[in-house]
């Protein structure tokens, strides 16, 4: 019998995660799978439980929630042969959109996609390792890593309890803007070095982040390359003007925004060019302060679809 581990985020999608999780368990068990509930009171504990279950012989891991739950799943199975199933039930669901998975909340279609992947074989996509340079320590992400003004907004939004969903990021932008000043960066890629005062550095394996921001319209999740988006210094007024256009990818037309492609990226602070950049976030989860080395691993993740 096929053994599936399921991790549910009950707070995802303004609380819709609980119902989605219940329905996922019901459908999978009804189709004859052995289902092990790996949910826990914290993401860290759920990650530990999932890793232990993997060692105990799971056939696949299924996560129910938004991008944070996908991030958990990626960090359990990336670099292994164990496939990941995703039931999108969050507010942003940028990774599910990137992978062409069923729309958020459509649990029946999501479970059908998981079954198709188990029957026909998974899709292999790239995953990205990130960690301090010169060390073996790292974690994985699938979507986008950022360490600019958007990361500062993400950090502030995580401290807020109202409103739910994407509106919280708009409120965080308004709150963060008065203290904004450009940062100093050195970004070393395979064949280019970008050293500048700047507002944003994003290293994208996927097209979307932040609940629908189309940060890297040309990114492809299985091409073995990272799209590196860098933005030079913007004033506070400039940030307000360019931010809405990111939802439609229009920021790439701005003369202060550049896109490079690379397999490896080293991001370092340059204190003589600007203030230290904020801690980096990936898939909406805090990674830590720079310097950071980012490396794409082609085909490192198997996704059921």
Per-residue pLDDT of the chain (305 residues; tens, 9 = 90+): 799 999 998 666 566 678 999 999 999 999 999 999 999 888 889 899 989 988 788 999 999 999 999 999 999 999 998 999 999 998 779 999 999 999 999 999 999 999 999 999 999 999 999 999 999 999 999 999 999 998 888 888 878 777 766 677 778 888 888 888 999 999 999 999 999 999 999 999 999 998 888 999 999 999 999 999 999 999 999 988 888 899 899 999 999 999 999 999 999 999 999 999 999 999 989 999 999 999 999 999 999 99
Domains of the chain: 3-121 (3.40.50.10330), 130-299 (2.60.200.40)
CA 225, CA 203: separation in Å to the nearest integer? 10
Would you state the pLDDT for residue 201?
A: 97
Closest CA to 214 of 124, 141, 150, 298: 150
Q: What is the pLDDT of residue 239?
A: 87
Q: In what order do the strands lie in the sheet with 144-146?
A: 257-262, 226-231, 200-204, 144-146, 280-282, 285-288
Identify the pLDDT of residue 174: 85
The pTM score is: 0.94
CA distance 188 to 169: 29
pLDDT at 202 (0 to 100): 97
Q: Which residues contact 56 (CB under 8 A, 6 or more apart)?
A: none
Q: Is the CB of residue 86 less than 8 Å from the CB of residue 70?
A: yes
Helices 43-55, 67-77: inter-axial angle, 10-degree rounding: 30
CA gyration radius, the chain = 19
Predicted pLDDT at 166? 62
Buried b (16+ CB within 10 A) or exposed e, 3-12: ebbbbbbbeb
Question: What are residue 196's DSSP bridge partners?
Answer: 185
């Amino acid at each position: 019998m096929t053994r599936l581990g399921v991790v549910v985020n009950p707070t995802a999608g303004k609380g819709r995660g609980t119902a989605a999780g219940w329905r996922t368990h019901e459908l999978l068990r009804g189709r004859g799978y052995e289902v092990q509930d790996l949910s826990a009171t914290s993401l860290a504990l759920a990650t530990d439980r999932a890793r232990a279950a993997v060692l105990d012989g799971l056939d696949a891991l299924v996560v129910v929630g938004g991008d944070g739950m996908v991030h958990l799943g990626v960090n359990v199975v990336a670099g292994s042969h164990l496939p990941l199933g995703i039931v999108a039930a969050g507010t942003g669901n940028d990774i599910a959109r990137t992978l062409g998975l069923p729309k958020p909340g459509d649990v029946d279609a999501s479970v059908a996609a998981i079954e198709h992947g188990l029957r026909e074989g998974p899709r292999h996509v790239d995953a990205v390792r990130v960690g301090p340079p010169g060390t073996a320590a790292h974690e994985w992400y699938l979507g986008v890593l950022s360490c600019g003004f958007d990361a500062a907004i993400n950090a502030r939004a995580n401290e807020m309890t109202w409103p739910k969903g994407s509106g919280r990021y708009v409120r965080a932008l308004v709150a963060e803007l008065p203290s904004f000043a450009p940062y100093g960066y050195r970004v070393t890629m395979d064949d280019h070095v970008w050293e500048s005062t700047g507002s944003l550095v994003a290293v994208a394996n996927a097209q979307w982040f932040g609940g629908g921001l189309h940060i890297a319209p040309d990114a492809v999740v299985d091409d073995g390359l990272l799209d590196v988006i860098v933005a030079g210094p913007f004033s506070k007024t400039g940030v307000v003007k360019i931010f809405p256009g990111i939802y439609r990818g229009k920021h790439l037309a701005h003369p202060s925004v550049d896109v490079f492609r690379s397999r490896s990226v080293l991001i370092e602070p340059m204190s003589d060019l600007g203030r230290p950049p904020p801690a980096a976030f990936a898939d909406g989860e805090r990674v830590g302060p720079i310097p950071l080395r980012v490396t794409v691993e082609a085909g490192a993740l198997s996704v059921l679809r």
